[in-house]
């Protein structure tokens, strides 16, 4: 096997003991050469995440208040860490520099990224590795998209022998200012590093042994997933299976680099491997659901004969800066399902605009909707999958408000009341695994 990129989640870097465990994992395989750390996570349930403290620091500065409390906690965490690791690293000097630089930023990105930066500096010293600052080689375009030249620039930085540490979560804009990915974006950094370094494998180390078919908090007997495709994982991650950031797939999918989800506390467990095509013939691999959706229902006689009707509805959403999730439709009706975070307080204004623009016979709203995705590439060649799913929900006394099957036949999405989410997931899980 060739070189391996390893990304370690914050839970894997919570304290000195965890840092030593990471070092042992890295050094146990000479192929593990490109290491992407997150900021240190919680040591115990009532602890504060370093990233949350950095956001609090920014918030206080923005209000012209003294950030002494979060800065003090951050300093104490990193000083304890370096002392226990017996590493020479002047935390106070670094924090003083960070404070000075942060004064130049109105946005939180710079401060938010410093947890990964400091974690990377410390881990590089522990491993005797070369530290690579993503600000110099992971580049965003002005619109926030990744600049394609990133792969060449970063690839050049990663040439040569030894181990390289590249902090996750951030890069820089064309003007040189720091920009972060969305929360959990260190997973994306790991994928970028894997592609730029031409790694043969991307190991994503976390606190679970891969993916489970369903949320164990809902289905306690949920079994593990040994193998899953990029496409299947994208569906599951987006719908709530949050072991991996849903955008982390894109950089590695084109070159076909497998992703292996591993557990730092059980390093011998094989975890879940993510590939282009899986060998398993199981019709489904996973079930995931999410609350927090609203459905806008639009009815109009002869809608199917009215050219541009759907376009006008979607143009209203575009005017309000709202994206949509699903759009099930019939001959004389269509529905648009929207995440509540997108809608905020815009629902009434959107409905008024739809009435004015499209002149429908009726517009109604269905709030408090949960979406459940049942995912598997084997659905396309298996008879009766939809029947098994709907029968299971009927037996569980769950009312289906929406039923949508993707054209690829890789997933079936059902919409149910938020109060029915857990019962529905359990019913679907046992229908396919019982």
Element (H, E) at 231: helix 230-238
Strand partners, 334: 298, 329
Query: pTM, whole model, 2 decimals?
Result: 0.84
pLDDT exceeds cutoff 80 at 425: yes
Verify that 295 and 208 share a domain, yes or no: no
Please say which residue of 275, 305, 320 terminates a domain: 275
Please say which residue of 275, 300, 334 terminates a domain: 275
Verify that 246 and 227 share a domain, yes or no: yes
Provide the token pair at 55.
């956001």
Give the domain extent around 243. 4-275
Dihedrals phi, psi of 210, to nearest 5 degrees: 90, -165
Verify that 373 and 228 share a domain, yes or no: no
Verify that 310 and 247 share a domain, yes or no: no
Verify that 237 and 321 share a domain, yes or no: no
pLDDT tier at 1, thresholds 50, 70, 90: low
Q: What percent of the chain has pLDDT over 90?
A: 68
More confident residue, 71 or 383: 71
Strand partners, 131: 165
pLDDT at 278: 83
CA trace torsion 239, 241, 247, 253 (10° rounding): -110
CA trace torsion 254, 287, 238, 418 (10° rounding): 170
Work out how many domains the chain is built from and give that number. 2
Verify that 394 and 426 share a domain, yes or no: yes
Please say which residue of 213, 242, 275 terminates a domain: 275
User: Is 183 a member of any domain?
Assistant: yes
Verify that 325 and 216 share a domain, yes or no: no
SS3 260: strand
pLDDT at 243: 73
Task: Give the Cβ contact number of residue 142 at 10 Å.
Answer: 9
User: Is 280 a member of any domain?
Assistant: no
Return the CATH number at 400: 3.30.2130.10
User: Is 215 a member of any domain?
Assistant: yes
pLDDT tier at 8, thresholds 50, 70, 90: very high
Verify that 296 and 165 share a domain, yes or no: no
pLDDT exceeds cutoff 90 at 110: yes
Verify that 315 and 406 share a domain, yes or no: yes
How much is the average pLDDT of 108-122?
96
User: Is 281 a member of any domain?
Assistant: no
Verify that 293 and 366 share a domain, yes or no: yes
Residue 64 burial class via C-beta count within 10 angstroms: exposed 0-12, middle 13-18, buried 19 and up: exposed
User: Is 106 a member of any domain?
Assistant: yes
User: Is 169 a member of any domain?
Assistant: yes
Verify that 220 and 296 share a domain, yes or no: no
How much is the average pLDDT of 67-92?
95
Verify that 103 and 74 share a domain, yes or no: yes
User: Is 351 a member of any domain?
Assistant: yes
Residues near 306 by Cβ (< 8 Å), separated by ≥ 6? 300
Alpha carbon distance 58, 115 (integer Å): 13
In the chain, DSSP finds a helix count (H) and a strand count (E) of: 14, 15
Return the CATH number at 85: 3.40.1160.10
pLDDT exceeds cutoff 80 at 350: yes
pLDDT at 267: 94
């Amino acid at each position: 096997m060739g070189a391996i990129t390893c990304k370690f989640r914050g839970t894997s870097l919570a304290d000195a003991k965890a840092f030593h465990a990471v070092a042992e994992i890295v050094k146990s395989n000479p192929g593990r050469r490109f290491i992407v750390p997150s900021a240190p996570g919680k040591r115990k349930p009532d602890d504060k995440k370093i990233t949350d403290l950095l956001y609090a620091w920014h918030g206080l500065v923005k209000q012209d208040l003294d950030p002494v409390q979060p800065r003090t906690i951050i300093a104490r965490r990193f000083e304890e860490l370096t002392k226990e690791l017996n590493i020479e690293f002047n935390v106070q000097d670094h924090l003083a520099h960070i404070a000075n630089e942060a004064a130049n930023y109105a946005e939180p990105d710079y401060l938010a990224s410093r947890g990964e930066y400091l974690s990377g500096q410390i881990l590089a010293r522990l491993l005797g590795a070369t530290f690579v600052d993503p600000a110099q080689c992971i580049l965003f375009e002005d619109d926030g998209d990744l600049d394609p030249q990133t792969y060449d620039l970063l690839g050049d930085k990663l040439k040569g022998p030894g181990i390289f540490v590249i902090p996750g979560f951030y890069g820089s804009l064309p003007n040189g200012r720091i920009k972060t990915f969305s929360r959990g974006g260190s997973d994306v950094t790991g994928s970028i590093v894997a592609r730029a370094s031409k790694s043969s494998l991307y190991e994503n180390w976390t606190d679970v042994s891969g993916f489970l078919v369903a949320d164990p908090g809902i289905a306690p007997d949920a079994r593990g997933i040994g193998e899953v495709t990029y496409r299947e994982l994208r569906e599951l991650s987006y719908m709530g299976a949050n072991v991996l950031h849903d955008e982390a797939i894109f950089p590695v999918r084109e070159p076909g680099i497998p992703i292996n989800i591993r557990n730092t506390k059980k390093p011998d467990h094989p975890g879940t491997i993510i590939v282009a095509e899986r060998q398993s013939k199981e019709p489904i691999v996973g079930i995931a659901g999410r609350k927090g959706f609203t459905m806008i229902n639009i009815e109009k006689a002869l809608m199917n004969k009215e050219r541009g009707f759907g376009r006008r509805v979607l143009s209203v959403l575009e005017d309000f800066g709202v994206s949509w999730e699903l759009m099930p439709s019939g001959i004389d009706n269509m529905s648009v399902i929207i995440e509540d975070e997108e809608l905020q307080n815009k629902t009434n204004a959107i409905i008024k605009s739809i009435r004015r623009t499209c002149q429908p016979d009726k517009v109604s709203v269905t709030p408090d909707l949960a979406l459940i995705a049942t995912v598997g590439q084997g659905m396309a060649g298996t008879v009766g999958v939809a029947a098994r799913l709907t029968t299971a929900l009927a037996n569980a006394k769950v009312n289906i408000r929406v039923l949508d099957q993707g054209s690829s036949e890789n997933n079936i999405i059902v919409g149910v009341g938020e109060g029915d989410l857990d019962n529905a997931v359990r019913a679907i899980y046992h229908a396919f695994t019982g």
